[in-house]
Amino acid sequence: MSAEGILLRPPESPVVDGTERPQLTTAETARGMTPATVAELCTQFMDVCQSAVDPLEIASALEFEGINDRVAELRYQVADVFTLAREMYARVPRAPAEPKPPPDPWLDTSKFRSALHGLIYGLPAMFFPVAAALLVGPGVLATLVVALLTGWALSQGLACIGFLRLGTGGGLQAQWVLRAGLPVGLALVAVAMTAMASAVQARTAVLLFGAGEGAYMLGACALLVLGAERWLLLALAPGVLGSAAFLLLGRPAGAEHLAWSALAATAALALLMAALMTRHAGQRAGPLLSAAELGAVLGAMAFGLVAAGLLTFPVVAGPTGHGGINTGALLASLPLSLSMGAAEWSVLAYRRRTQYLLRTGQEFATFARKARVALLAALARYAAVAIALTAGAVVIAAGTGLVAKPQRYLPELVAYLVLGFALFLALLLQALGLRAVPLTAAAITLGLELAFRHYGLAVQLAGSAVLLAVVGAYAAISVGGVMRHAY
């Protein structure tokens, strides 16, 4: 029977047990021509009946359409609308429609965003060869390391609160907290550089470079949180182009001020663009940081500090543990920075995979097994990209004569790459809200490497391998829990 037939069928007066059924008044049928039989009524309300989990749902739908107790009694010969709903519930089998799947929160709408992020992470590495040529005097290395550690820790904390507010309060709240956090971060960078000025008697140029390094990291962090990658790429342009020209021309005397200007322009542009992107910040709603947010931010800052320490230690300590150039670590540092784009892509792919497993209703044991397989696949994807980028850097360095016999530096390369694999797993666990164990393991590893640095490359390689094993084992155990992926 068509829908039109149901809706337009006139009231009938069938005979039931020899008695004519009473007719409804015009007012009682004003909401529409009511079907004459319960079977026809079930057809009209088929979708409601099939999806109802209780007769009360059907009763509510009937009353909404004007079928009250009087209509139920006169037309369908039942005591009331609830009795009619129970009869319809019994007649129609349950066949609820599948709900539409929720939108995938981990869907990467841009195919090139992760690659762009990798480029953004890698390009600042060009600044350090320029700094090596420009910066002289006492305390250069110590000041730059402190600036790197400070900037990395503060930018991780700022990114954490920015993303938290982006998820809970929307874009305007994220802009507000980033705009408020930027001057706080800059003040802390200034305190760190002032302390270094007193501790190592560093020259003004060294302190300014360190402050600019921290300022750039804070501005870049705010732009990345707000999705302004293209603006950040524009801010990088003067520093990258100026550094490249300075290096390609052989670091000519008299061009130092041009190189300084290019580097300063990048830091200033990053801060200016961050300020412009947050100019429409919303009104303050409560404290700058709630208690829950403070815990998350401190955890993110601590992990940023420890991760920066682990990545910096091989370069500073050298292969002997007592200084010197760690050629292998230097060769791997730029490819590892570029590989952060692949790390982001792999994490997103892993989250999409586990969300799909949740939506398809896997058994707990099946979900745990497939989530671990997906974790291994994510690590393999990242490792493949990191190894390929490192191999490319080695080939270029050997081909241009920058490094002779690169095979001699294979142990240093392996140690640095294994450290990158361990930090990738730690970042993935942080995305799942698992912060304490990776942070503790990384901090203990850094402490042991510092304590036993006189063992040189051996302790660096052992530390990276043990950290990867510990974080990997913890990840394999933890990712099997369904609730870890339910957000």
Quick: pLDDT tens for 152-170: 999 999 999 999 888 787 8
Please check whether residue 411 is in contact with residue 328, taking contact to mean a CB–CB distance below 8 angstroms.
yes
What percentage of the chain exceeds 90 in pLDDT? 46
Structure-token pair, residue 306? 């420890």
C-beta atoms surrounding 125 within 10 Å:
17
Would you say residue 415 has pLDDT above 70? Answer: yes
Structure tokens belonging to residue 44 = 């009209």
Domain positions in the chain are 3-91, 112-289, 295-487
Token pair of 313, please? 């230690």
Burial 264-287 (b: 16+ CB within 10 A, else e): bbbbbbbbebbeebbeebbeeeee
225-235, pLDDT tens digit by residue? 998 988 999 99
Q: What is the pLDDT of residues 256-306, one digit of tens each?
A: 888 999 999 999 999 999 999 998 776 665 677 888 889 899 999 999 999
The per-residue pLDDT for 188 is 96
222 neighbors 272 (Cβ within 8 angstroms): no
Give the model's pLDDT for residue 103. 64
Q: What's this model's pTM, rounded to 2 decimal places?
A: 0.76
Q: Residue 14 — very low, low, confident or very high, per pLDDT cuts 50/70/90?
A: very low
What is the reported pLDDT for 128?
Answer: 80
| Amino acid, single-letter form, for residue 317 | A
6-10, 104-108, 121-125, 423-427: the lowest-pLDDT one = 6-10
Q: Determine the pLDDT at residue 17.
A: 39
pLDDT of 396 above 60:
yes
Read off the pLDDT of each residue in 342-363 and give the average, rounded to a whole number: 85
CB 444 within 8 A of CB 364: no
As a whole-number percent, the residues of the chain with pLDDT over 70 amount to: 89
